[in-house]
Structure 1
Amino acid sequence: MSTKIELLKFLDENYGSFVSGECLAQTLGVSRAAVNKAASALKKSGYKILSRPSQGYKLLEKIDILTEESIGSKINEDCKLIVFDEIDSTNNFAHSLPASDVPQVIVANSQTAGKGRLGRSFMSPSDNGIYLTVAFSPSFDLNKSPFITMASALAVCKALESVCEISPKIKWVNDIFYKNKKVCGILSEAQTNLETGRIDKLIIGIGINCFPSKFPDEIADIAGSIADEAGAFSRSALAGAVADNILAMIKKFPNTHFLPEYRRKCFILGKNIYVHTIADGKRIKARALDIDDKGGLVVEYMEGVRMREIETLSSGEVSIRQ
């Protein structure tokens, strides 16, 4: 962790109070000159820090700028953090990065070509959301990868609970809902090695609608935001918590002990849904019965030639809209 990030983290923990240069130098394990240099760099990035020779340094205002300092100060796990104001797609950028010994976290304030599932676009306006990708080289086989999206959804829920103090739910397999609206989508992609049958790089893309925005007509009835007004919580704190939870989850993977909790948060179980068949674009009414130990959604069809047939879906898409 850089001196800038450590300084911002310590000043944030002591928000509104002066901390002496001597105390900061001892705490951070650097010289007072290094503290002053880091404080000056933070000021240039937009942070309001008051410095007085006799009193030290004080963070005057918490501002919601997505920077490596503001996000990195909330991440405890080891990673390489890269932050953009605007990018085409954090997932695309992750694909272009060379291999790394530590996970790579890419965060953007906005995307011009955000990616959703099944080739869809993901609306990514500036200052309204968090667009975050974690890329890493996994140690597990390809057959374990379907669990990564489910575990990521649970990790995002825990971050929302701790930072935003809300109770989100999951729609199998990768959508996060709050107040009956979709507020987060997750897109997992992989670079595979056909010779070894292993994954060279796994990429987890997460898009969160934080504050109100005008959604396109085709998704206006299903898309929502976490908060009712801008600035209700710190996007930096949420981005850091999401990244930290994902990174911690990666270290435990492919442990599947998360499945019972995932089932509890999956709000479609026991309810009527629609299963979308990708091949012909049709949808069939069904009832979501359970999630099996392989992460598949067990459904019972309720209409047509498949009436009363039970199937376990390992992929695909389901919806709750009539």
Structure 2
Amino acid sequence: MEKEILKILKQHQNEYISGQDICESLNVSRMTISTCIKKLKEKGYHILSSTKKGYCLTDDNDVILIDHIKARLPDFFKNIEYFDDIDSTNDYLKRSPHQQGDIVIAQSQTKGKGRNGKSFHSPQQKGIYLSFVLKPDLTIYDSLKITACLAVSLVKTIEKNYPVYPQIKWVNDIMIQDVKVAGILCEASLEMNTARIENMIVGIGINVHSYTMPDELQNIAGCIEDFCTTKVSREQLIIDFFHIFYQDYQNLQTSSFLDFYRQHSYILHQNITVYENNQTYTAYVLDIHDDASLKIQTEKGISQLCSGEVSIRKKTSS
């Protein structure tokens, strides 16, 4: 019932609608409406109540209605589940069997996951936190290309909706002006005794609407709308992302999206510091190969840097 009430409030967002009108639309009692409104407020929705005017969903709410998204996605994405709160959308998909194209979206996460065991801060109504299932006919050695495809889709989505210039920090972060605004986490399971991917769970986290970051994330992470005055609904960003990703994913074998990837690289032709297997070394990024690995120059010569327990940061000048 809360979802039905929220849908009605969103249709009249920033204006009052009487409790009686809601009752008649849903054929329920005023007490039921009042109880549901209270629960919605407890979940973080800003709803004004007036004995004379009724209820008003204020314009600072960014409501996600799954029915709106379902109706506008390619058929490849079959099912969408939605949660007000969840531990981690990736972990949820790993706990039970799902089909390719299944999506789970959360309003907030209590244990949002980043790469290398890091957490992803996921507050109510401020970002997009979702995961979905892929079953690519590829080996684990091609998984970096999927991450690159996802990164390209995120950048294209952001550029379509905002007057900003995002860049891709190898392998899975989206940056705006040296600040991380989005991240990708791909977790694959392999077929028995082979290197082929049986199942891949893709996690996407995007910081959309501005808010005060925790102290430990200050100057490290930010939100897209910190960098412009444009406001975009999370529904629209989700729909655009899945349409763009679906198109590029169909062309995964051709690597046609990698030219865009190179153009938006945060580290191409940069001096970097590589942290790998408890070792640190400096390098210069010469190119990005068609499998999305890096061609780097070190003091030992030219080599290839692939996916793994590796983090990269721009080398600071002394």
Q: Which AA in structure 1 matches 2:168?
A: I
Equivalent residue, structure 2, for 1:313: 305
Provide the C-alpha distance between the structure 2 equivalents of 1:245 and 1:150, rounded to a whole number of angstroms.
Answer: 13
Instruction: Give me the CA root mean square deviation.
Output: 3.4
Query: SS where residue 152 of structure 2 aligns?
Result: helix
Q: Kindly indicate whether the alpha-carbon contact (under 8 Å) linking 1:91 and 1:205 is maintained by their aligned counterparts in 2.
A: yes
Runs of 5+ in structure 2 lacking a partner?
14-24, 28-32, 41-58
Match of 1:75 in 2: 73
Write the distance in 2 (CA, Å) between the matches of 1:293 and 1:121. Answer: 30
The offset of 1:210, in angstroms, is 0.9
Q: CA deviation at 1:169?
A: 1.1
Matched, 1:275 2:256: no
**Distance in 2, Cα, partners of 1:74 & 1:210:** 21
Identity of aligned residues (%): 33
Equivalence for 2:252: 253
Q: Which amino acid aligns with 1:319?
A: R
Structure 2 counterparts to residues 25-104 of structure 1, below 5 A:
64-79=62-77, 80-100=79-99, 102-104=100-102
Give 2:200's match in structure 1, choosing from 194, 199, 202: 202
Aligned residues of 1:172 and 1:268 also touching (Cα < 8 A): yes
Write the deviation string for residues 233-291 of structure 1: whole angstroms up to 9, x where unpaired.
Answer: 111111222223233333333331111111111031111211112x21x4323222111
CA distance in 2 between partners of 1:222 and 1:321 (Å): 16
Give how far 1:308 is off. 5.5
Contact 1:129/1:207 (<8 A) preserved: yes
Provide the rounded CA distance (Å) in 2 between the counterparts of 1:238 and 1:205.
15
Residue type at the aligned position of 2:313: S
| Structure 2 residue 287 is matched with structure 1 residue 295 | no
2:111 aligned partner, one-letter code: A
CA distance in 1, matches of 2:165, 2:75: 25
Indicate the SS of the match to 1:263. Answer: helix
- After superposition, give the CA deviation of every residue in 1:292-318 in whole Å (9 maximum; x if it has no partner): 2222112223xxxxx363221002221
Q: Cα offset for 1:62?
A: 10
CA contact (8 A) 1:212 1:230 kept: no
- Change in Cα spacing, 1:267 to 1:196, as seen in structure 2 (3 Å) is closer
Matched ranges for 1:15-34 at <5 A? none
For 1:34-78, what per-residue CA distance to the aligned partner results, in whole angstroms no more than 9, with x for missing partners?
A: xxxxx869x9999xxxxxxxxxxxxxx896212212333442343
Deviates more, 1:245-254 or 1:168-177: 245-254
- TM-score between the two structures when normalised by the length of structure 2: 0.75
On the 8 A contact 1:210/1:227 being kept in 2, the answer is: yes
In 2, Cα distance between equivalents of 1:75 and 1:162: 17
Question: What is the letter of the counterpart of residue 261 of structure 1?
Answer: F
Q: Which residue of 2 aligns with 1:211?
A: 209
Q: Go from structure 1 to structure 2 and tell me whether the alpha carbon gap of 1:260 and 1:150 turns closer, same or farther (over 3 Å shift).
A: same
Letter matched to residue 202 of structure 1: M
Find the aligned partners of 2:289 and 2:249 in 1 and give their Cα distance.
21
How many matched pairs?
A: 273
Match of 1:54 in 2: none
Name the amino acid aligned to 2:314: I
Residue in 2 that maps onto 1:237: 236
- Which residue identity does 1:292 align to in structure 2? H
